């Protein structure tokens, strides 16, 4: 089974696989009573309900075509060449002056973006903000002279499994298409799509080209942006995922505030899901919550009194079952917000308030330095801080010095170092600065982390 982004590439329809569906989790909140839903009484009522929703929502869903130039290395001659590339996707107008939301992977690396409305009008667009972590990009249409149709972003998260939804987009580039289905799951995490994502799953038919399109409810509100499918064939198999409106709103707000990136706060905890055995030992009726295994010194969680061994079961009333769910719930908040944390300690439920903050450190990739002497000569390295570790590795707790480049003709490459290796220690001493790697000689013992595996070696 493959995870497929939904943009259509000019080079191929099937894109890279990124995850396995068997690892997904659903976190269905039990903290708030469910609102009542009325089931359609007959086929005529269902048919009558869709048409008004489509009429009110479809004009705000747009088609996006993007063009750019791709640089590649000729495998025969070894020379760098360029060729035209492009993608086709969808988008949603969320503000009448031409603010459009789509997926980052639809427009990433593209030089020209053309947005076509439902009524065939076309506009060029510029990128205000493209957030890779959420795969949400915000565009500004140029030359808008009159108010455009919009979809209201419903970030209230009052959806329920089984609710009827419509998916609107541009599958396979054939033109605007509407499909219907239900919400199959909420708060889907560990999908392989994002380490900080919590997705709406739907069985509404969505296909390549639907990327950036709208997932709307029966009130005609935008509840998600369609972003990916699981498929063996590359076509819809009834397992599609949408970025929830709460994250969409967070990215839109950042773009309209003039930010160039989305600053995600953190709680400063690392944990693992509670096992069935641990749940039984704690007297729980079922496995739920995230057991805290590590805390960042002086981080928001530590300051709020959270300890290692505590089990976080909710953030702001939303149930938490894994690290991805925690990252999402905290990441949708603004830095400085105070959030209510519900946890279990010694078998008792407690509530604490934590003031979430941006990750410590600056993300300055230009601060990487080149080692001039010793076994690592020629390598470009960068000391990790939580902000850099989160950006490069998705793990703000990662420590050490990362090798950002190890050229093939360098001494470092000859010694076996590769791009993205993390040097953890030299002669059993932890490494935290680039200077600690300068002048390494034969016989020095080095421990590195490569793709999650610890490796030990001796300089030769």
Catalytically annotated residues: 105, 135, 211
Dist. CA 28–CA 376, nearest whole Å: 49
Pairing relation of β-strands 380-383 and 401-405?
antiparallel
Helix (H) or strand (E) run with residue 224 in it:
strand 222-231
Dist. CA 61–CA 213, nearest whole Å: 7
Between the alpha carbon of residue 172 and those of residues 6, 63, 90, 237, the distances in Å are 9, 11, 11, 15
Neighbours of 307 (CB within 10 A): 12
Residue spans of beta strands (DSSP E) within 96-219? 99-103, 112-116, 122-131, 136-141, 164-169, 177-189, 199-202, 214-216
Dist. CA 150–CA 244, nearest whole Å: 18
Given a contact cutoff of 8 angstroms between Cβ atoms, the answer to whether 459 and 395 are in contact is no
Neighbours of 369 (CB within 10 A): 17
- Burial state string for 108-143 with b = 16 or more CB within 10 A and e = fewer than 16: bebeebebbbbeeeebebebbbbbebbbbbbbbbee
Count CA within 13 A, CB hemisphere, residue 241.
Answer: 30
Given a contact cutoff of 8 angstroms between Cβ atoms, the answer to whether 329 and 318 are in contact is yes
Count CA within 13 A, CB hemisphere, residue 460.
Answer: 7
β-bridge mates for residue 81, sequence order = 72
Residue spans of beta strands (DSSP E) within 42-170? 61-73, 80-95, 99-103, 112-116, 122-131, 136-141, 164-169
- Torsion, CA 329, CA 331, CA 336, CA 338, rounded to 10: 0
Measuring CA to CA, which residue among 308, 311, 397, 316 is closest to residue 356? 316
């Amino acid at each position: 089974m493959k995870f497929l982004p939904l943009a259509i590439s000019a080079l191929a329809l099937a894109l890279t696989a990124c995850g396995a569906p068997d690892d997904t989790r659903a976190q269905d909140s039990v903290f708030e009573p469910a609102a009542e839903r009325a089931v359609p009484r007959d086929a005529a009522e269902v048919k009558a309900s869709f048409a008004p929703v489509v009429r009110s929502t479809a004009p705000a869903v747009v088609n996006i075509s993007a063009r750019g130039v791709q640089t590649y290395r000729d495998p025969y001659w070894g020379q760098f060449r360029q060729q035209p590339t492009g993608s086709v996707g969808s988008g949603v107008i969320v503000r009448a002056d031409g603010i459009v939301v789509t997926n980052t992977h639809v427009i990433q690396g593209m030089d020209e973006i053309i947005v076509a409305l439902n009524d065939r009008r076309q506009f060029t667009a510029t990128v205000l903000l493209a957030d890779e972590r959420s795969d949400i990009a915000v565009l500004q249409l140029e030359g808008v002279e009159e108010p455009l149709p919009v979809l209201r972003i419903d970030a209230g998260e009052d959806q329920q499994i089984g609710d009827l939804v419509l998916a609107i987009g541009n599958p396979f580039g054939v033109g605007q298409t509407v499909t219907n289905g239900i919400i199959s799951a909420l708060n889907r995490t560990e999908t392989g799509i994002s380490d900080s994502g919590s997705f709406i799953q739907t069985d509404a038919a969505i296909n390549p080209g639907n990327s950036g399109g709208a997932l709307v409810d029966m009130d005609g509100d935008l509840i998600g942006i369609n972003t990916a499918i699981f498929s063996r064939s590359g076509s819809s198999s009834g397992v599609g995922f949408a970025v929830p409106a709460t994250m969409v709103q967070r990215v839109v707000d950042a773009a309209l505030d003039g930010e160039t990136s989305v600053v995600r706060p953190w709680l400063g905890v690392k944990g693992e899901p509670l096992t069935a055995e641990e749940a039984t030992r704690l007297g729980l009726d079922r496995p739920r919550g995230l057991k805290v295994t590590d805390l960042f010194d002086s981080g928001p969680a530590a300051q709020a009194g959270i300890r290692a061994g505590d089990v976080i079961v909710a953030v702001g009333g939303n149930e938490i079952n894994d690290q991805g769910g925690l990252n999402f719930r905290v990441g949708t908040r603004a830095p400085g917000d105070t959030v209510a944390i519900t946890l279990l300690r010694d078998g008792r439920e407690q509530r604490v308030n934590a003031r979430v903050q941006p990750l410590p450190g600056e993300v300055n990739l230009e601060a990487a330095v080149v080692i001039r002497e010793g076994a690592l000569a020629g390598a470009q390295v960068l000391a990790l801080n939580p902000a850099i570790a989160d950006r490069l590795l998705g793990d703000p707790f990662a420590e050490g010095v990362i090798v950002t480049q190890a050229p093939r003709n360098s001494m470092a490459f000859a010694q076996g170092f590769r791009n993205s290796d993390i040097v953890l220690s030299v002669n059993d001493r932890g490494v935290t600065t680039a200077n600690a790697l300068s002048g390494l000689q034969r016989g020095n013992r080095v421990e590195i982390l490569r793709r999650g595996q610890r490796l030990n070696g001796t300089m030769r």
